[in-house]
Amino acid sequence: MKRIIKRSLKWIIIAVIVIGAGYMLYEKVFKSGEAEVVMEPPQVISFPVTQETVTSSVQVKGRSQYQEETLVYAPFASKVTGWKVENGGQVKKGDVLFTLDQSSLKNEIAAAEAAIRKAELESELNAFVSQQEDESATPIGTEAERLKALAAEEATRLNNELNQVNTQIQEQELADKKARLRTAVYHAPATGIFLYDSSSSERPQTVTDNQYIGKIVDLNKLEFIASVGEQDIFRIKQGMKVKVKMTAMKELTLNGEVTKVSKFATTTTGQNTAGQIPQFEVVISLQPDEHLIGGLSLSGDIETMRKENAVVVSSMAVMHEGEQTFVMLDKGNGQYERQEIKIGLETTEKTEVLSGLKPGDTVVLQ
């Protein structure tokens, strides 16, 4: 019995010690921590009112393309007897690009010349026979004989006119064939880089009449073809300056200028809206750059408005309440006062202040 009582007392004493130690720890850690917590006043973010240049812009996206492209077509159907240029090769105006086999076209020219000469001889022969018949003809006696003679003369005249028309057609066809023959050795019509037709994997060895062969592009003249929505199209004017960036080289910035604003919309299907979204094409000229080629993804900021020496403040500090616009003006010594302002040009970062603030003032955001 005594052992049980001693054991119980032992556990009671241990429990008291644990509880006491826990209470002391609580007092030391938690109570003392609460006593040291000090409520700090809310942070105030201040913004200076400055005088600087403020601009408004429209962001656009699109692709680069060559401004001048001279398309090359086969002058006539034939075999290609020789290529003088490689894909992507530099050519000058007048350089030989390729040569075509001339034998078939020369045979056609020879046949056309023979046909024309034959028609001329037949016409001369008919005229000679007609003259001989007239000289040996007996005098016309009756009215019927006279009408018959007139009909024969009219038939001869009409036949001669038909022969002349046919001869003119044949001569024109002959001239066209001779002109084509002169293009059998095809010379570059412009200076630039020659690019083969992208749909063909290798150079053609035979061509059809007027077949597309490729194009000559001027690498020094590229343009940026961008699309904008109807909400921005009326803000963009010809001559506006553009800062252009390449998706592949974000650190490179190019200068551009709006050269054309389309007056007709194209439509694209919206991903999140039903129906068609009207888009307008904007053409932007680009400065030459060694990294710039056709087909690159580009983005640009078109500067639609600029104001020099404008009084501006951070757009974050500007607050709106109905039709009123105001800021919290720092009066010094921790005193802040509501100040109504009149604003002008607004951007995502800066807002122009037309009245109510002056350079050197400070506004706060609480």
**Please, where are the H alpha helices in the chain?**
2-26, 32-36, 103-136, 143-182, 230-233
Identify whether residues 254 and 343 lie together within a single domain: no
pLDDT of residue 61: 93
Q: Is 125 domain-assigned? A: yes
Q: What is the pLDDT of residue 129?
A: 67
Going by their DSSP bridges, the two strands 241-246 and 342-346 should be labelled as unpaired
What's the average pLDDT block by block, 10 residues per block, for the chain (366 residues)?
41 51 53 50 82 90 90 92 90 93 88 83 72 60 71 74 81 86 92 84 86 90 91 92 92 93 76 68 90 90 91 92 92 90 89 93 88
43 secondary structure, DSSP code = P
Split into its structural domains, the chain has a count of: 4
Examine the domain organization and report whether 295 and 314 are in the same domain: no
Judgement on whether residues 148 and 111 belong to the same structural domain of the protein: yes
Question: Do residue 357 and residue 317 come from a single domain?
Answer: yes
Tell whether 18 is covered by a domain.
yes
pLDDT at residue 271, as a whole number: 52
Convert 10-44 to b/e letters by CB count within 10 Å (16 or more is b). eeeeeeeeeeeeeeeeeeeeeeeeeeeeeeeeeee
Let me know whether 244 and 291 are in one domain.
yes
Quote the domain boundaries for residue 249: 59-67+221-304
The pTM of the whole model exceeds 0.75: no
Query: What per-residue confidence (pLDDT) applies to 40?
Result: 57
What is 236-304 written as a DSSP string? --TT-EEEEEESS-TT-EEEEEEEEEEEEEEEEE-SSSSSEEEEEEEEEEE---TT--TT-EEEEEEEE
pLDDT at 16: 47
d(CA 221, CA 215): 15
Same domain, 156 and 182: yes
Task: Provide the pLDDT for residue 1.
Answer: 41
Residues 188 and 127 in one domain: yes
